């Protein structure tokens, strides 16, 4: 990884108000108490995976880096904070000069994680680190949830093509982030042009039922589409009668017809019938694309069907039932004083039940067996044990406020394939279960 500016630069407004008010009021109180400059370590992690999930997927890291770079308060924002009396004047002056100058380490994008994994570690003064909590969590919780759903769907698809098409099922900006996260998790393309423009994700799309209904006959619609987009296009064949539509599609486009799309009905049965009909008509190379409220279970149920690609919308962009990863951002260590060389003191909230956490600046490594298959996520403080040296998971992302780890989105996508392949085979099961490997604390 390097710090090159990769991809298309798109105007991004300041992320400074993508935060909760108490982040700013904490800064005000810390400035007044003289503790704002204390060296601090925050970590983002989850105490548990969504119910039944066997692993998590880190996604959104690249967006976090953009958000940190763009976290600054302009004059209009300062004016708003002053008018609303959110914080006092000394704090406003401090915020006006804010730029993150600390260090960030984290699991690289596309890596898998487990309960307790220190997915992101942010180090700097208390004030500059605490301000980033909300925006970091909003990105990681959303994108990692989508990537995890995408990964499960990718595993279920068994190498067949996956198309993200959920833009109309979520907020317009969430749709772009969802397409990016889905690509990391194993999807091959998106229907969302903003995602293609911003992140270089391949885009696809041909026509909807409205185009067929616009024309006097289905044949007229098919002919218009083929004349415009060529014989390699994908024709939607379930507007009226599927068998008749397939026959018309091949007659009009010939055996060079690229694909047909089925968006309703018993997809397993219809796919078999359409495949047989296409082959009988000589369109043996024409592919079959299925859509219609698919999730990983529906995709798995179609494993024996002659389907070449799946289009997934609602279930993907909502995390297939788990739209968040429940990640938290906690102070785990802080200096004993404001002196630059003051040693770090581990800190942790004392809590009954499931909200307990472990203090200390942590490292993480994945222990593998003799076959190279992961057997434990080891999280600890202090020195990394010799037997785990070289297997550390955190990488440097930001040094002294400067991003040092930008990478192409393809790198995150490829990393996920490798990380998932290193898990026990039971990780690919869709049935409910516990994390596929346990977390050990050293």
CA 13 – CA 18 distance, rounded (Å): 10
pLDDT of residue 1: 36
**Are 115 and 62 spatial neighbours (Cβ–Cβ below 8 Å)?**
no
Closest by Cα among 186, 192, 190 to 173: 192
> What are the φ and ψ backbone dihedral angles of 32, each rounded to 5 degrees?
-70, -35
Burial pattern 129-161, b for ≥16 Cβ within 10 A else e, equals: bbbbbbbbbbbbbbbbbbbbbbbbbbbbbeebb
Say yes or no: domain 151-320 is CATH 3.20.20.70: yes
Bridging pattern class, strands 120-125 and 327-335:
unpaired
Helix segments in 200-241, DSSP class H: 209-214, 218-229
Q: How far is CA 379 from CA 44, 70, 347, 360, 418, in A?
A: 13, 31, 16, 11, 21
Which two three-digit tokens encode residue 262? 């089925």
Q: Is the dihedral of CA 7, 10, 14, 17 positive or negative?
A: negative
pLDDT of residue 338: 84
pLDDT of residue 12: 58
pLDDT of residue 353: 66
Q: What is the second-level CATH architecture of the domain 21-131+326-441? A: Alpha-Beta Barrel (3.20)
Burial pattern 298-309, b for ≥16 Cβ within 10 A else e, equals: bbeebeebbbeb
**Are 170 and 178 spatial neighbours (Cβ–Cβ below 8 Å)?**
yes
Rg of the chain in Å (alpha carbons): 25
| CB proximity list for 429: less than 8 A, separation 6 or greater | 54
Closest by Cα among 162, 158, 119 to 137: 119
CA 339 – CA 342 distance, rounded (Å): 5
Residue with tokens 């309703």: 264
pLDDT of residue 11: 56
Low-confidence residues of the chain, pLDDT below 70?
1-12, 352-354
CA 366 – CA 380 distance, rounded (Å): 12
CA 289 – CA 270 distance, rounded (Å): 11
Sheet strands side by side (includes 438-441) = 362-368, 374-381, 438-441
pLDDT of residue 94: 98
Where do you find CATH 3.20.20.70 in the chain?
151-320
Where do you find CATH 3.20.140.10 in the chain?
21-131+326-441
76 three-state secondary structure: helix
């Amino acid at each position: 990884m390097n710090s090159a500016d990769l991809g298309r630069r798109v105007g991004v407004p300041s992320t400074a108000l993508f935060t909760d008010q108490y982040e700013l009021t904490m800064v005000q109180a810390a400035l007044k108490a003289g503790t704002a400059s204390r060296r601090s370590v925050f970590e983002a992690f989850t105490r548990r995976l969504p119910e039944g999930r066997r692993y998590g997927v880190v996604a959104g890291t690249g967006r976090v880096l953009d958000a940190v770079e763009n976290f600054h308060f302009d004059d209009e924002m300062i004016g708003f904070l002053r008018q609303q009396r959110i914080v006092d004047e000394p704090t406003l002056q401090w915020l006006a000069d804010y730029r993150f100058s600390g260090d960030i380490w984290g699991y690289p994008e596309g890596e898998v994680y487990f309960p307790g994994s220190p997915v992101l570690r942010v180090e700097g003064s208390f004030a500059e680190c605490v301000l980033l909590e909300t925006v970091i969590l909003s990105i990681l919780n959303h994108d990692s949830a989508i990537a995890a759903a995408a990964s499960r769907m990718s595993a279920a698809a068994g190498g067949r093509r996956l198309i993200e098409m959920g833009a109309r099922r979520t907020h317009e900006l969430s749709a772009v982030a969802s397409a990016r996260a889905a690509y990391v998790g194993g999807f091959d393309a998106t229907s969302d042009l903003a995602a293609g423009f911003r992140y270089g994700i391949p885009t696809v799309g041909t026509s909807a039922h409205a185009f067929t209904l616009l024309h006097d006959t289905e044949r007229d619609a098919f002919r218009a589409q083929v004349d415009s987009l060529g014989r390699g296009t994908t024709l939607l064949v379930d507007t009226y009668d599927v068998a008749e539509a397939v026959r018309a599609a091949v007659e009009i486009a010939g055996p060079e017809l690229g694909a047909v799309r089925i968006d309703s009905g018993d997809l397993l049965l219809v796919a078999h019938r359409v495949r047989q009909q296409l082959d009988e008509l000589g369109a043996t190379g024409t592919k079959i694309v299925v859509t219609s409220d698919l999730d990983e279970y529906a995709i798995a149920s179609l494993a024996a069907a002659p389907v070449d690609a799946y289009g997934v919308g609602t279930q993907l962009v909502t995390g297939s039932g788990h739209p968040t990863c429940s990640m938290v951002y906690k102070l785990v260590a802080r200096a004993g004083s404001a002196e630059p060389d003051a040693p770090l003191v581990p800190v942790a909230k004392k809590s009954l039940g499931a909200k307990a956490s472990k203090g200390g600046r942590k490292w993480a490594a994945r222990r593998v067996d003799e076959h190279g298959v992961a057997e434990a996520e080891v999280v600890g403080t202090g020195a990394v044990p010799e037997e785990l040296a070289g297997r550390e998971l955190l990488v440097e992302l930001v040094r002294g406020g400067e991003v040092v780890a930008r990478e192409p989105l393809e790198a995150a996508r490829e990393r996920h394939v490798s990380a998932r392949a290193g898990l026990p085979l039971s990780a690919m099961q869709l049935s409910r279960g516990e994390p596929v490997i346990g977390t050990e604390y050293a």
